[in-house]
Structure 1
């Protein structure tokens, strides 16, 4: 697997604020990475450093295995880290022609990218007539004109209505399907869970988790119900694999410290004379895992 970006022990201080605190992770070709964290967690600062618009305090990063200087490497990167900024009285097509001149890209790319983001029918409309969602989609088209190896997006759905959010997410999936690597920063758990294959969880500038989205939400729990839930909960206190038991909304929620088969749990309870009316094994959502991770960080 080709490594697109390597970040090692990256730090950024703004006077007393340690905005990026010893951050390390790798971006590999062909995946969709989410940098997930609440506002002020250091996501945008990290992106600014790797895009050479914010100076790091210490640490290092290398594009494409360190085979080229940052300014050369950035020619293979497409990025949107601020609100789209185009000429309001020019058409979408003419705005993208200007971007092509700056990037040295062929005009032939313009219609292809407008088609991808669903704006081909509005290519001759002035930018000022575009909705916020359309402006964001035009910005994505602009970032793709040079066929970058990686597309970087900072909070791509911020401020959009539900339809606009869905359109952006669909476009991200389409771009990823072409093999383009994507790195997006978001404070929305739902966004990362729906479009990303990998996630870096940041809080107060510190990496709390890095790995697959499936890996962070791999823990499972049982949702149980019986005629008498208090007897059910009492019977489970002797089951060696059970790590915690709580009653919630009429169910007994059981977490385990090792893999347990539903059939084994059911059999154990039946032998104790407790017959279940409800047994479902659920995976913890990314939201639950995220809240657990961030609550463990004490500083």
Structure 2
């Protein structure tokens, strides 16, 4: 793995008798898009708030860009959007970012660059209150980009967006990663995570239950074949791959696309009619529900 920009060890947060985050140990590699995946209330936002120094852990530790969360040296390397953007409604998008830039000692050139990168340059002088929800989320990402941070921490950036807005946000996040930013993306949107993330951490009821690439989580793919008559096709398939199983849905072959042509040829040569042959993969949604018990 590349150098880790975020590392947690046994990170825990309790509120009285309630444990919101329970012993989370995770690593985010520099340059990747890391999906922090879990249902609402699983502990995602609480974990992110500890990483940026907004709250202190009850137990455990974390380092972000080599520093303790909240250290001024790491704050300058972070861009954060947690629990939605908050801006002055009566100011324009540009003026809102200028206010934030002034507080942080950042020049106006960065403001214009951020507006351009999130696609708001043409609407920068419009009042924030006139923005659509998607534009407000984009401005929030723009605020996170001020100062050209190494690490972007984005909490549910597509929350409440329509399908077009979600697609635009996914494209924006991918572009930011291509430009050299590391992105830690919290989400409960399985399709979003599956499309853009390099690795994921799955959190459920405060505990990190998996951390891996999406391909590893989904496991090996198989082929699903349907033919008639099945009693003729099945021996022909077994003669090619050996490892095949007859199910109510057809013949499942524990092999990838590389054997598809040979299997199809064998079925046709056996005299059976080939009705369907397709790659069958578990979706991230199926894996997620298996891991979380349907949560």
TM-score (norm 1): 0.86
> Could you tell me whether the CA contact under 8 Å between 1:4 and 1:28 is conserved in 2?
yes
Change over 3 Å in CA distance of 1:9–1:272 after alignment to 2: farther
Of stretches 209-218 and 258-267 in structure 1, the one that deviates more from structure 2 is 258-267
Picking from 288, 292, 295, the partner of 1:294 is 292
Cα RMSD over matched residues? Answer: 2.9
Could you list the per-position Cα deviations for residues 45-68 of structure 1 after superposition, in whole angstroms to 9, with x for gaps in the alignment?
111111111221211111223489
What residue number does 1:193 align with? 194
Deviation at 1:234, TM superposition (A): 9.4
What residue number does 1:167 align with? 168
> Could you tell me whether the CA contact under 8 Å between 1:241 and 1:258 is conserved in 2?
no
> Could you tell me whether the CA contact under 8 Å between 1:33 and 1:196 is conserved in 2?
yes
> Could you tell me whether the CA contact under 8 Å between 1:80 and 1:152 is conserved in 2?
yes
> Could you tell me whether the CA contact under 8 Å between 1:63 and 1:70 is conserved in 2?
no
Deviation at 1:18, TM superposition (A): 2.6
Could you list the per-position Cα deviations for residues 1-45 of structure 1 after superposition, in whole angstroms to 9, with x for gaps in the alignment?
332111111122233433222211111111000001111111111
What residue number does 1:151 align with? 152
Aligned length: 293
Of stretches 203-212 and 25-34 in structure 1, the one that deviates more from structure 2 is 203-212
What residue number does 1:216 align with? 217
What residue number does 1:125 align with? 126
Deviation at 1:262, TM superposition (A): 3.5
Gaps of 5+ in 1: none
Change over 3 Å in CA distance of 1:258–1:168 after alignment to 2: closer
Of stretches 255-264 and 208-217 in structure 1, the one that deviates more from structure 2 is 255-264
Q: Secondary structure at the match of 1:65?
A: coil
Matched, 1:241 2:248: no
Deviation at 1:221, TM superposition (A): 2.0
Could you list the per-position Cα deviations for residues 101-129 of structure 1 after superposition, in whole angstroms to 9, with x for gaps in the alignment?
11111111111111111111111111111
Of stretches 190-199 and 215-224 in structure 1, the one that deviates more from structure 2 is 215-224
Deviation at 1:235, TM superposition (A): 9.0
Q: For the residues of structure 1 that align with 2:13 and 2:238, how far apart are their CA atoms?
A: 48
Q: Secondary structure at the match of 2:66?
A: helix
Q: Secondary structure at the match of 1:79?
A: strand
Picking from 264, 279, 282, the partner of 1:281 is 279
Change over 3 Å in CA distance of 1:271–1:292 after alignment to 2: farther
TM-score (norm 2): 0.87
Could you list the per-position Cα deviations for residues 229-280 of structure 1 after superposition, in whole angstroms to 9, with x for gaps in the alignment?
47767998998635x65434xxx26263999944665588689875643222
What residue number does 1:80 align with? 81
Gaps of 5+ in 2: none
What is the 5 A alignment of 1:1-299? 1-66=2-67, 70-229=71-230, 241-242=243-244, 246-248=247-249, 252=250, 254=252, 256=254, 261-262=259-260, 276-295=274-293
